[in-house]
Chains A and B, each alone.
Chain A
């Protein structure tokens, strides 16, 4: 029986944040690698144009690193990051002042399976995206954090500065309204 290979300890987000505070740039890069894709999905779900997602991901990380001194660990770093992403999307919409049209673009197309199923799935996503745009911001973000990111209500509540009960109510209101939009 051979001895097990030593497993390299994976630094926690908190350790990386502390390292970044100490001037460790690779720690910041690692945080970006860990959370960038989840953030991109959240931003797209929150209404970011597919062409803007790259820039908005960067902008969100820049704001987050600038504001890390205010992060008290009340929730996971990723959850906190996603709430900052919500602000970034809102600011981007305000800046652009353009009519928001959700194209049936690459971001909403499935690429595998039966073409008809792909088309139906793409249509479902398009309608869900359009429905999300009609929701109040709190409902939209609670829905995305819960349904897309799979977070618990307590975690969502901590990130959004509300109670788990209120987060649950927002979620159910969002689901009820989204069903109206997509049916």
Chain B
């Protein structure tokens, strides 16, 4: 057979049909049959191996779920821990500490009452048993400025 002949499909198929023929001829079929039957009889069924194949897939799924849930928790916590006090102060005071000077005493108290829902800063003030009504305008401005950070 020449090399050029291989370019024809039929001859390529002929070569393919010969491929492995010697290996097949060498095979001791009867011995193989007996060996297969013996292994089927003696070897335990491969449930463990099946579990072994499944386990990595489940582990990957579990790991992916963990990552998704973890990311969701992080995003949620970041979202909820935004500095509410700053937002409120900014909203009430027009967006800057400089405007605090323009607020009246009553307006300052109102802002602080709005801001002062259970925040740590407000607790620091209340721990001294001081009410908003007891603070001067100067003290209220200082408190608001501290809240602004």
A contact set with B: CB distance below 8 Å:
25, 28-30, 32-33, 36-38, 40-45, 48, 50, 53-54, 57-58, 61-62, 65-66, 106-111, 117, 120-121, 124-125, 127-129, 132, 143-144, 147-148, 150, 175, 178-179, 182-183
Contact = CB atoms under 8 A, between A and B. Distances in A.
B40 A28 contact: yes
A48 to B, nearest CB: 8
A7 to B, nearest CB: 23
Contact of A125 (B19, B34, B40): B19
A65 B35 CA distance: 13
Given A61-B36, A129-B19, A183-B6, A33 B24 contact: no
A121 B40 contact: no
Given A32-B29, A45-B19, A129-B19, A25 B41 contact: yes
B20 A62 contact: no
A75 B45 CA distance: 25
A117 B1 CA distance: 7
A92 B106 CA distance: 84
A31 to B, nearest CB: 8
29 contacts: A29-B33, A29-B36, A32-B29, A33-B33, A36-B29, A37-B24, A37-B27, A40-B24, A41-B23, A43-B20, A48-B23, A50-B26, A53-B23, A57-B27, A58-B35, A62-B39, A106-B22, A106-B26, A108-B19, A111-B22, A117-B1, A120-B2, A121-B15, A124-B6, A124-B15, A128-B16, A178-B12, A179-B12, A182-B6
A28 B32 CA distance: 11
A51 to B, nearest CB: 9
Given A25-B37, A144-B19, A148-B20, 8 more contacts: A38-B24, A41-B19, A41-B23, A53-B26, A58-B39, A108-B19, A111-B22, A125-B15
A41 B39 contact: no
B16 A143 contact: yes
Given A40-B24, A41-B24, A66-B45, A32 B33 contact: yes
Interface of B: 1-4, 6-7, 9, 12-13, 15-30, 32-37, 39-41, 43, 45-46
Contact of A28 (B4, B7, B30, B37): B37
Contacts of B37: 25, 28-29, 32
Given A41-B19, A41-B21, A147-B13, A36 B27 contact: yes
Contacts of B4: 183
